[in-house]
Amino acid sequence: MRRNWGLGTTSAFAISSKVEKCEKKLPLGQLFFASFVKVKPQTRYKILDTKQVIVVGGGTAGWITAARVAAHHRSGVQVTLIESPNIPTIGVGEGTWPTMRQTLRKVGLSEEVFLRETFGSFKQGTWFHGWSRGGDEEYLHPFSLPLEYPDTTAAELWLADSTNDHSFSAAVTPQDAVVKSNKAPKQASTPEYAFNVNYGYHFDAGKFAEVLKRHSVDSLGVKHVLGDVTGVQVNESSRVITSVSLESGVVVEGDLFVDCTGQRGLLIDGHCRVGHLEVSSTLFNDRAIAVQVPYGRDNASIASATLATATSVGWIWDIGLQNRRGIGHVFSSSFSSEDDAQLALERYLVATSPELDLKSLAFRVLKFESKYREVFWQDNVVAVGLSAGFVEPLEASAIAMIEQSAEFIVEHLSAAWEAMPPVSRKFNSKMTHHWERIVAFLKLHYVLSSRSDSDYWISHRLPEHCPQDLLDSLEIWKHQIPAIQDFPRVDELFPAASYQYVLYGMCRPANSAPSLCQQPKGKSSLELESQLRRKREELVQRLPTNRDLLTHIAANA
């Protein structure tokens, strides 16, 4: 009988996890295109005294997973990562959630080393421009929760006060002012991974993989094998993989195989034959044109958030690293040609960096499909990163899903040896839920827009292109504010506060405000505003800029 093996639940990775003062608390994975030839079973499966976790594929997904497992299971588990020497690094700038601080801390990597060697910077959220009506309007989705959340419903107070001309984020969190002043999330004297306002990172993905690789091999005991996987050997009765063969003739035996081979899914697809669920009818984008842009001067300011600027056929990301900006235009090939999309990107570059010589820049076209696996753990193979799925990079969910998967593996690895089937079912249920919530949350940004300058935006609002669950929620939210009871799972990726930031950032429902805020809880509007003003002024005055703090870290490393 065919056996279904797998791993279980993890702690919540909320994008706006509750801020704890001085708490110690990504991007496309590197593609792994190995030639693949199925071969006859050669090695009988056997239980080893030391369990062997084999990660096939490097990049962000492979090295995060290898590092997390090796750091947590220092005895009784040997981690081996097999990486093709023939796959180039994509190397675009990437954004993470605050959960990355926990990941780096858990693997024992210094924040200063990480920032210095990845050209990293601090990210405090996403700053949206032109998404609502296509003009100069803007809104912020920050990583910090609203003040006094959820005891005081700041959204109710903001909706009830028709005289309040602040944007929603400005009215509920001081982080709005910190981001718009390009300030850092902490001071130079603040310990590593601690903060004054919640933050994640921007970094060079290629450099990040190199840092993790060195740390994993030198400090965590991960075995690094270079080679292309050309075949698998399976147990004849259970069909679990017992080993993989490399082009060199080397055979690597293992108990658990983590597929981090990118969109090809060398093991989860090539061996397990697990298919995808397509979501391109909901999320239209399938192309990105990326470019690396130098700063006009050495001391140029570094943005404290990912900038996301809407265009008539998509949106442009702008990520500030220490040494350059990573910029790209995400769009749909069904609504725009690559040439027209690049022209829109060039117009953005001229507007934001008029000193640039466009002819000196190297533009790259990245193609992707919005889809995720029907199951993510089959037999003793678990897909992580692009092998598991990918949707457009809005809200930077790719690395967060890698962290989710790695955390689950770490927390359930001991049980998984003896209880693979139930653990795998938990893992598959959890990952399916997360992918569904990601698709719905990303779609929220499009369906709320009132832009009518192209068929792209108009089509996004058609009910047939929107998940029914999201349509139902939007109907409910006409009469009540998104609240924690709307998202009952403790491990939700996007909490109610995130939905509030996007919903009320895009539009203020003046007509329904009375029904939305009949019973405000906790502090009054005046009390909250007074508290906000004090914190806002204190933070903006005391915090250094992103550039100044990063310069200080580099100088004192």
pLDDT, residue 517, reads 56
Dist. CA 30–CA 264, nearest whole Å: 11
Q: Give one word for 470, left, alpha or beta, with left for phi > 0 and alpha for psi -120 to 50.
A: alpha
In terms of Cα–Cα distance, which of 267, 248, 319 is closest to 55? 267
Dist. CA 324–CA 302, nearest whole Å: 9
Q: Are 128 and 310 in contact (CB under 8 A)?
A: yes
Dist. CA 488–CA 409, nearest whole Å: 23
Sign of CA dihedral 500, 504, 508, 509: negative
Q: Please list, in sequence order, all residues whose beta carbon lies within 8 angstroms of the beta carbon of residue 533, skipping any fewer than 6 positions away.
A: none
- pLDDT digits (tens), the chain, 557 positions: 333 333 333 333 333 333 333 333 323 222 222 223 333 333 333 333 569 999 999 999 999 999 999 999 988 899 999 999 987 666 555 899 999 999 999 999 999 999 999 999 999 999 999 999 888 899 999 999 998 888 777 888 888 887 778 899 999 999 999 999 999 999 999 999 999 999 999 999 999 999 999 999 999 999 999 999 999 999 988 889 999 999 999 999 999 999 999 999 999 999 999 999 999 999 999 999 999 999 989 899 999 999 999 999 999 999 999 999 999 999 999 999 999 999 999 999 999 999 999 999 999 999 999 999 999 999 999 999 999 999 999 999 999 999 999 999 999 988 777 788 899 999 999 999 999 999 999 999 999 999 999 999 999 999 999 999 999 999 999 989 999 899 988 899 999 999 999 999 998 876 545 456 555 566 677 888 899 999 999 999 999 999 999 999 999 87
Q: Which two tokens stand for residue 285?
A: 């984008």
Longest dimension (CA), the chain: 75
Q: Are 26 and 399 in contact (CB under 8 A)?
A: yes
In terms of Cα–Cα distance, which of 143, 95, 499, 504 is closest to 307? 95
- Cross-strand bridge partners of residue 55: 81, 258
Question: If you compute the radius of gyration of the chain from its CA atoms, what whole number of angstroms results?
Answer: 23
Q: Are 282 and 466 in contact (CB under 8 A)?
A: yes
Dist. CA 258–CA 103, nearest whole Å: 18
Q: Are 179 and 301 in contact (CB under 8 A)?
A: no
Q: Are 313 and 341 in contact (CB under 8 A)?
A: yes
Q: Which helix (H) or strand (E) holds 134?
A: none
Q: Are 254 and 332 in contact (CB under 8 A)?
A: no
In order of 106, 199, 350, 533, the CA distances from 496 in angstroms are 27, 18, 37, 24
Q: Please list, in sequence order, all residues whose beta carbon lies within 8 angstroms of the beta carbon of residue 530, skipping any fewer than 6 positions away.
A: none
Cα–Cα–Cα angle for 408, 414, 415, nearest 5°?
80
The backbone torsions φ and ψ at residue 183, rounded to the nearest 5 degrees and listed phi first, read -90, 155
pLDDT, residue 93, reads 57
The backbone torsions φ and ψ at residue 122, rounded to the nearest 5 degrees and listed phi first, read -95, 135
Q: Which helix (H) or strand (E) holds 266?
A: none
Ranges assigned E (strand) in 84-173: 93-95, 121-123, 125-129, 138-142
Sign of CA dihedral 104, 105, 110, 112: positive
In 3-state terms, what secondary structure has residue 533? helix
Q: Are 292 and 362 in contact (CB under 8 A)?
A: yes
Length of the chain: 557
Q: Which helix (H) or strand (E) holds 430?
A: helix 420-447
